[in-house]
Amino acid sequence: MTYEPTNQPTNQPTNQPTNQPRSRNSGIELLRLIAMLMIVFSHYWTYAVPSKQKPKLGVGFELLGSWGKWGCAVFVLITGYFLCTSKFQLKKLFKLLFQISFFSFVIAFIFYFAHNNTNPPNSLVKVFMHLAPNTFRAYISSNWFMIPYVFLFLMFPLLNIIIRNTGPRLHLIILAIGIFYISILPKILSECFKTSAYAPYIHSDLMTFVLLYFIAAYLRLYPNKILKNNLIILPISLVVTMVIIVTICCSSYRDTALHGPFVILSATLWLVVFANLKFSFKPINIISAGTLTVYLIHEARNFRTLFWKEWFVTNGSIWQNLYSVAIVFSSCLVIGIIYNYTINWMLAKYLDRPIDKLQVKICQYLKCENRIDK
C-alpha cells in the first residue's frame, strides 16, 4: 500500500487526539442508521416471525433478517472510528452508563406497575429496591451487545496507547493475527471437526469488538489513496455483499456471525464507502444520535416480548412486517431524540463540569496526564 505523505514520523498515526471540535461526517451517521435498522429487522425475523411462516415471506425478507450481526459490527466499527482519535472523558462514560441504567429501570418500572395495578406499592423506594437486583441480573444475562460495548469504552484509552505506539506495519500484523485467530480459525476448525464446541475458547464478543476497534483505527489513522477512492471500494463492497447473499440463499454455510470473515470484511468496506461521502446534514446527525436508544428499548427483555409477541405479531403479510419494523424503529428513534434534548441535555448542563473536575482530581492523585476535551 502507498501511504499519503505526512510531516509526522512514519511510525506515528496521522491523526492524534485533539481538543479541536470536529464536524460530524453525515455519511458515517447515515450508515449508523442503516446498521441499527438491520439490527431491528434481524430481531423481528428472530422473535416475531414463527418458523412455519418464514418460508412464506420469501428469500428477500430472510435476507433482511440475516444482517443483524453485520449491523452490530458496523456499529462497533463506527464507535472505534471516532474513539481512536479521542481522549478519555469520564463524563461520556457516565452518560453511557446512565443511559443504559435509565432505560433499563424505566422499562422495569413500567412493567412492574402494569402488572401490579391492583396492589400498588407503598413507596417508590421499595419498588426500586425490589427491582434493582432483578433488573441488573436480567440485563447482564440477556444483553450480549451492551456489556462488551461498555467494556470496550472502558478499554479504549489503553487500546489507543497501544495503537499510538505501533506503526502501520505492526498494526497490520496485529490485524492479521487477530483476524486469523478470531474470524478464520473457527471456520477452519468447524469444517475439519464438524463442531463448534471449542468456539468459546477461541473468541468472545469482547475480543471481536477489540478486533473491530483496531480495524477502524487503522482505517482512520493510516488512510491511503485506494481506500479513499469509492470507484474502487464500492464495487468490492457490492461483490462481498453478494457473496454473503449467496451463502444465505444457496448454501448451508452461512457467514452471518459477528466474527465471520465476510461479515467483518463487508462491514469494514461499507464503513469506508460511507466515510468517503464526507458531507454534513444536520437532520441526519440529530436522528442518528438516537440509535443507541433504539437498541436499549427494543431489545429490552420485557419490550422484546411485548413488541414481537403481542403488538406486532406477523400475519404473513410482507407489508405488515415492514410496517411493524418501521413503527418500532421510528418510535424508538423519536424517544432517543427526546432523551438527547431533555435528560442528556440536563446531564451535560449540570454534571459535565463537576465530572470534569473529578477527573482532574483523579488524574492528579494518580499522577497521570489529564485528558479532557473542552
List, for residues 10-42, the tens digit of each pLDDT value: 445 555 554 444 578 899 999 999 999 999 888
Contacts of 24 (CB under 8 A, 6+ apart): 280, 285
Report pTM. 0.84
Query: Looking at residue 27, what is its pLDDT?
Result: 93
Q: DSSP label at 4? A: P
41 or 60, greater pLDDT: 41
Split at pLDDT 50, 70, 90, the class of 3 is very low
Query: What pLDDT is recorded for position 76?
Result: 95
- Identify whether 6 is part of a domain: no
pLDDT at position 244 over 90: no
Query: What is d(CA 299, CA 202) in angstroms, rounded to the nearest whole number?
Result: 27
pLDDT at 299: 80
Cell numbers for 312, please give them: 406486532
Look-up: residue for cell 416475531? Answer: 48
* Measured distance CA(293)–CA(289) in Å, rounded: 9
The answer, yes or no, to whether residue 357 has pLDDT greater than 50, is: yes
Per-residue pLDDT of 330-343, as tens digits, reads 999 999 999 999 99
- The answer to whether position 286 is within a domain reads yes
Residue 85 domain-assigned? yes
Residue of 260, 210, 218 lying closest to 240 (CA atoms): 260
Q: Report the C-alpha gap between 74 and 290 in whole angstroms.
A: 16
Q: What phi and psi, each to the nearest 5 degrees, are found at residue 278?
A: 45, 65
Does 10 fall in a domain?
Answer: no
Choose the most confident range, by mean pLDDT, from 174-178, 187-191, 323-327, 359-363: 174-178
Task: Please tell me the distance from the alpha carbon of residue 322 to that of residue 312, in angstroms, as a whole number.
Answer: 11
What cell was used for 328? 418500532
**Domain annotation covers residue 80:** yes
**Do the Cβ atoms of 186 and 259 come closer than 8 Å?**
yes
pLDDT confidence band for 95 (50 / 70 / 90) = very high
Please report, for residues 47, 210, 321, 322, the alpha-carbon distance to residue 40 in angstroms, rounded to integers and kept in the order given.
10, 23, 12, 11
Domain containing 362 equals: 26-366
The total number of structural domains in the chain stands at: 1
- Out of 195-204, 206-215, 257-266, 291-300, least confident range: 195-204
12 domain residue, yes or no: no
Q: What's the angle, vertex CA 323, arms to CA 277 and CA 301, rounded to 5?
A: 90
Q: Which residues of 221-257 are buried (b: 16+ CB within 10 A; e: fewer)?
A: bbbeeebeeeeebeeebeebbeebeebbeeeeeebbb
The three-class DSSP label of residue 226 is coil
* pLDDT band, very low/low/confident/very high, at 323 (cuts 50, 70, 90): confident
Residue 5: the pLDDT is: 39
Alpha helices in 6-53 (DSSP H): 26-47
pLDDT band at 1 (very low <50, low <70, confident <90, very high): very low
Mean model confidence pLDDT for the chain: 79
Query: Does a structural domain hold residue 162?
Result: yes
At 362 the pLDDT is 87
18 vs 308, residue with greater confidence: 308
CA separation, residue 112 to residues 104, 229, 276, 335 (Å): 12, 53, 47, 20
Mean pLDDT of the region 217-227: 91
In total, the chain counts a number of residues equal to 374
73 domain-assigned:
yes
